[in-house]
Amino acid sequence: MVRSWLRITSYGKSQLDLIGEDYYPVFLDPVSTISGLKSSIPNIDSIALRYFEEALWAIKKNLFLSAIVIMGCASECSILLLIDSMLDYYDDAALQGTFIKAEKIKPKYELFKTKIAEKGFKKELLSLFETNKIKYAELKHLFIDFDTILDGMFQIYRTNRNDAGHPSGISFDKDITRAEAAMFRKYCKIIYGLIAYIDEAKNLKIG
């Protein structure tokens, strides 16, 4: 059945033409956003993804405190997986014991950054991909993002989760919560991109 009263304006058509990996006409629509994450980040963790999906639905219902807490959980899950990937790469019981002693997420993350520097982890990984210019460049860019923006993202998710999770009377408005949700895709691209390369590097090292 033809709906003759429906029409697309020139602006609407221009927006539809822009639909792609980084753009959705409905901002943070849970269905399209989660579908996009699954397709663009194939190794994204299902638990982290489920938490983030619940956060998006919470935002739609204006449950901003809930959304902030849930996104903090998705962040923590992803960061711990990144740390585990490095521990699997080295397969060192003493190193694993050091991380077990750092019980909370912030000490674990700070220890992770310290060990990366001490072990020359970036240089070691990059050396394994020197013969593949595309992968070498992509991994190098991921490490640049790790050094420059991931830390800030992690601190935002962690701090806001802590603030929202305690009955202190603090509130989060729509703009802050949506901004935090909007950066989650970039956050995951860095984390799960590094995890994928670390797993591949481990196989190269073994082989």
Summarised one tens digit per residue, pLDDT across range 10-45 is: 766 665 565 555 555 446 789 889 998 999 999 999
Between 140 and 25, where is the model more confident?
140
- Among residues 13, 81, 61, 37, the alpha carbon closest in space to that of 184 is found at 37
Task: Say how far apart CA 148 and CA 125 lie, in whole Å.
Answer: 19
pLDDT at 99: 94
pLDDT at 119: 95
- Among residues 132, 167, 157, the alpha carbon closest in space to that of 75 is found at 157
Task: Say how far apart CA 42 and CA 63 lie, in whole Å.
Answer: 29
Q: CB-hemisphere CA count at 13 Å for 126?
A: 14
19-28, 101-110, 165-174, range with the lowest pLDDT: 19-28
In this predicted structure, the answer to whether residue 8 has a pLDDT above a threshold of 90 is: no
- Among residues 126, 99, 117, 190, the alpha carbon closest in space to that of 152 is found at 190
What pLDDT band is residue 172 in, cutting at 50, 70 and 90? confident
The chain-wide mean pLDDT, for the chain, equals 89
In this predicted structure, the answer to whether residue 95 has a pLDDT above a threshold of 50 is: yes
- Among residues 91, 54, 76, the alpha carbon closest in space to that of 203 is found at 91
pLDDT at 26: 47
Task: Say how far apart CA 45 and CA 23 lie, in whole Å.
Answer: 22
Beta-carbon contacts of residue 70 (< 8 Å; ≥ 6 apart)? 51, 52, 54, 55, 58
